[in-house]
Amino acid sequence: MKCDIVIVGAGPAGLWAAKTAADEGFDVVVLEEHPAVGLPKHCSGWLLGCEFTDMFFAEIKDALPYQKVTRLKLIDPLSGQVMEDIEDSGWGGYLARRELIDRELAKVAIMAGAKLFLNVKAEALIKEDGIVVGVKTASKSLPEVRAKVTICADGMKSAASGFARKEIATEAESETYTGIQLELVNVKEVTPGQIEIYEAEDPKLSGRSLWPHGGGITLASFSSMDAYNEIRSRRDNLFSQKIASSYSVYLGGFPNRKEMGFHYHNMVKDGVIFVGEASGASGIVHGMITGSYATKVAKKAIEQEDLKCIYEYESLVRKSDVYQNPFSYRIVKKHYGSYRTWLERSKEIKQ
């Protein structure tokens, strides 16, 4: 198969790149290795409030169950002290089920003219004279897709074993850790739309968080199922008390970069652009914006028949709000000083 643009990965970054490219009239093919868009899921589903979120979410929210984010609390789990209590002033955005977000974005991309193929795993980039000209797959029915521009949007796994690790990342940049995300039922004393983040000297408790969606579902992440069960059995802290009677209705594993939220030094190679988590951009909104930048430079490269144009992507990203305001609550204190500063700066993000 031949097309103008082939995109590896049907997450928010890849699908938004597909939608915006199809809107420009390009022949776009999206390859997703899993049998369903949105799975496996390992994301809180937080759409950070900003101008871009207001714009794109208006296109899909009528089809989604979602919860308005109204507050973020930073809590010491051992003392129960609330260290920061920040009410929404425009940064809140929404909590929505990640798999449903992805499927609605897929619908929007397809309706714009993009072609989506499920169960097609991209195995390698096809190169001619060192220039990427498409993707080789593991599918017998679609063994390869050749394109004028390739976009890699292979998500969190890109650093661990995907195309970012193989093509652009240094060893330090691709260092990862693993964990699990659970959808919990029967978490006590949480309010839908009020995010809770816990910080403590105890490393098993520090960095834990609760993301209460509507419908009685609360998302939380742990290093392993054993860690969840151990923390759940404790009674010496507020976090453990809240999840003590909870049970998981969904378990998903994930790899994540230790430098989560910070872009790779290189985000382009000849013929291929990296977007979303594959470029280092953590967060749904941040990833989607990089997808729109990729479309912009791909359009120029195709129209001018000059692949060097795609290198403009790196300067676009580095000058952008998403580069200046990385999405990673793990580095908030170090990078911003406080959660309040982070959230107030993030709400100014524009495309």
Model pLDDT for residues 98-119, shown as the tens digit of each residue: 999 999 999 999 999 999 999 9
Q: How far apart are CA 309 and CA 318, in angstroms?
A: 16
Contact, 155 vs 147, CB < 8 A? no
CA distance 242 to 262: 32
Whether 331 has a pLDDT exceeding 80, the answer reads no
Integer Rg of the chain from CA: 20
Q: Which amino acid is at 279?
A: S
264, two tokens = 């790779």
3-state secondary structure (DSSP) of residue 269: strand
H/E element, 286: helix 284-304
Band of the pLDDT at 329, cuts 50, 70, 90?
low
Question: What is the pLDDT at residue 40?
Answer: 84
Place of tokens 């049970």: 247
Count other C-beta atoms under 10 Å from residue 251's C-beta: 14
Q: Inform me whether the pLDDT recorded for 225 exceeds 80.
A: yes
Q: What percent of the chain shows pLDDT beyond 90?
A: 70
CA distance linking residue 315 with residue 309, whole number of Å: 11
Residue 175 one-letter amino acid: E
Token pair recorded at residue 281? 């951009």
pLDDT at 17 over 90: yes
CA nearest to 73, candidates 170, 204, 210, 203: 210
> Which domains occur in the chain, in start order?
2-42+98-174+259-339 (3.50.50.60), 66-95+176-257 (3.30.9.10)
Distance between CA atoms of residues 11 and 103, nearest Å: 9
pLDDT of residue 73: 96
Length of the chain: 351
- Whether residue 39 is predicted with pLDDT greater than 90 in this model: the reply is no
Q: What is the mean pLDDT of residues 315-327?
A: 89
Query: For residues 263 and 259, what is the distance between their CA atoms, to the nearest angstrom?
Result: 8
